[in-house]
């Protein structure tokens, strides 16, 4: 992925405001910085496909969507972490699950555990740090001795693997 100078200038000129905007949604500066970094990566990918008439507006929209997703994920994780082990599976989905839906959730959790066990150790550790430990990409990068971009790629690969395995049902 390449970022041209104009895109970089737009990003750098608005980075502080983007972090503040994300922080208003996420409520955590560290997570807000992660959101803005992820937005920058997505902005670059999208810009390769087509030019933008309003690049700043597009950046804000990416940040907003990622911040909302991050907040929802954090709230879901907090709900799971504050319940007991038996409640975790049921609380991860809906509070009024039918027996069939509860069985489906249990099967998905089992497939997720199996998928995580298949991951290379470095990928599994990075994914656990990010999703279960709430660690920032910088912390993961420091722990693994890699760049933040590489840490992001490792986490993304782990998520993609787990998502494919859970969705495929095998």
pLDDT in tens, 127-168: 888 887 788 889 889 999 999 999 999 998 998 898 888 888
In this structure, the answer to whether residues 51 and 98 fall within a common structural domain is no
The Cα–Cα gap between 4 and 146 comes to: 24
pTM: 0.48
Q: Are 119 and 53 contained in the same domain?
A: no
For the beta carbon of residue 130, count every other beta carbon within 10 angstroms. 22
137-144 helix and 148-168 helix, angle to the nearest 10 degrees: 100
Instruction: Give yes or no: residues 9 and 40 share one domain.
Output: yes
- For the segment 16-40, the average pLDDT, to the nearest whole number, is 89
Is residue 38 domain-shared with residue 53, that is, in the same domain? Answer: yes
Residue count of the chain, please give it: 170
At 48-101, the pLDDT tens digits run 777 778 888 888 999 999 999 888 888 877 776 665 444 555 555 445 667 777
Buried b (16+ CB within 10 A) or exposed e, 49-73: eeeeeebeebbbebbbebbeebbee
Residue 40: which domain range?
A: 5-79
Q: Are residues 94 and 158 in the same domain?
A: yes
């Amino acid at each position: 992925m390449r970022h041209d100078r104009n895109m970089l200038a737009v990003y750098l000129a608005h980075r502080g405001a983007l972090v503040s905007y994300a922080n208003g949604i996420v409520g955590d500066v560290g997570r807000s910085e992660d959101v803005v970094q992820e937005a920058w990566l997505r902005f670059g990918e999208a810009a390769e496909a087509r030019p933008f008439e309003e690049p700043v507006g597009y950046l804000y929209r990416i940040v907003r969507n990622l911040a909302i997703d991050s907040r929802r994920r954090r709230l879901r994780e907090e709900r799971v972490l504050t319940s007991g082990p038996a409640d975790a599976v049921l609380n991860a989905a809906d509070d009024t699950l039918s027996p069939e839906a509860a069985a489906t959730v249990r099967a998905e959790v089992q497939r997720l555990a199996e998928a995580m066990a298949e991951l290379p150790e470095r990928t599994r550790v990075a994914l656990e740090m990010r999703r279960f430990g709430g660690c920032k990409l910088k912390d993961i990068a420091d722990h693994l001795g890699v760049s933040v971009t590489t840490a992001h790629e490792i986490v993304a690969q782990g998520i993609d693997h787990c998502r494919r395995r859970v969705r495929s049902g095998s």
